[in-house]
Structure 1
Amino acid sequence: MLVVHATFPIDPEQREEALARAAELVSETRKEPGVIEYSAVTDLVESDLLRFVEVYEDEAAFAAHVESDHFQAFETKLPELLGGEPEVMRYEVSDASEVEV
């Protein structure tokens, strides 16, 4: 399993467009084979931080996502939406289990 956590500081003047584009990206990505979870959220404290949590079955599913038209469209527009440097972390996960709360 592959997990990607991406944080994008969004230019406040571009926030509405960024959220609309992120919503479209999420909607299309969730239809892709091999995608276990794909979510975008705004930070509760810093409302101009857009965070993506992405979980893929394997490397092939992630590679297909990166090559998809909807991802390419988002990535092309992203520099115009940013208000700072993005951070993207990738995690290889060998095991996962539910945590009781």
Structure 2
Amino acid sequence: MIYVIAVLETEPSETARVIAAAEPLIAATQAEAGCVSYELHADVRKPSRLVFVETWESRDHLEAHFKTPHIAAFGAAISGAVLKQRLEIIDAADVEVS
């Protein structure tokens, strides 16, 4: 299993736009081969901090996800709305932070 934690710090005035753009992303991703779970959460103390929590069957499935049209569409839709982002990829042998 591969676990992913992706944190987006959004402009507070843009959070609703990012969440709306995430709706089709989430639906499409949950239908992907190898996706075990894919959820979006908001920090209750800082609602402009959004956290994707993902579980994938393999690294190959995750890499295929990164190349999907819905990932590209989400990136385009949230352009200018994200102040900071962090991606953590966790597997049994390694932890990556970028």
Normalised by the shorter chain, which TM-score bucket?
0.7 to 0.9
Q: CA RMSD in A?
A: 1.3
Give the match for residue 40 of structure 1.
Answer: 40
Paired residues, what number? 93
Give the match for residue 64 of structure 2.
Answer: 64
Where 1:40 maps in the other structure, the secondary structure is strand
Counterpart CA distance in 1 for 2:76 and 2:91 is 26
Q: Which digits, 9 at most, give the CA deviation of each residue in 1:20-58, with x for residues without a partner?
A: 011221111000010001001111111100100011000
What is the aligned-residue identity percentage?
A: 24
CA contact (8 A) 2:21 2:78 kept: no
Q: Give the counterpart letter for 2:92 in structure 1.
A: V
Question: Which structure shows the bigger proportion of residues in strand conformation?
Answer: 2
Which stretch shifts more, 47-56 or 15-24? Answer: 15-24
Unaligned runs of 5+ residues in structure 1 are 95-101
Counterpart CA distance in 2 for 1:24 and 1:44 is 23
> C-alpha displacement at 1:78, in angstroms?
3.3
Counterpart CA distance in 1 for 2:78 and 2:29 is 16
Give the match for residue 9 of structure 1.
Answer: 9
Unaligned runs of 5+ residues in structure 2 are 94-98
CA contact (8 A) 2:7 2:50 kept: yes
Q: Give the counterpart letter for 2:26 in structure 1.
A: V
> C-alpha displacement at 1:93, in angstroms?
3.0
Give the match for residue 85 of structure 2.
Answer: 86
Q: Give the counterpart letter for 1:56 in structure 2.
A: W
Q: Give the counterpart letter for 1:34 in structure 2.
A: G
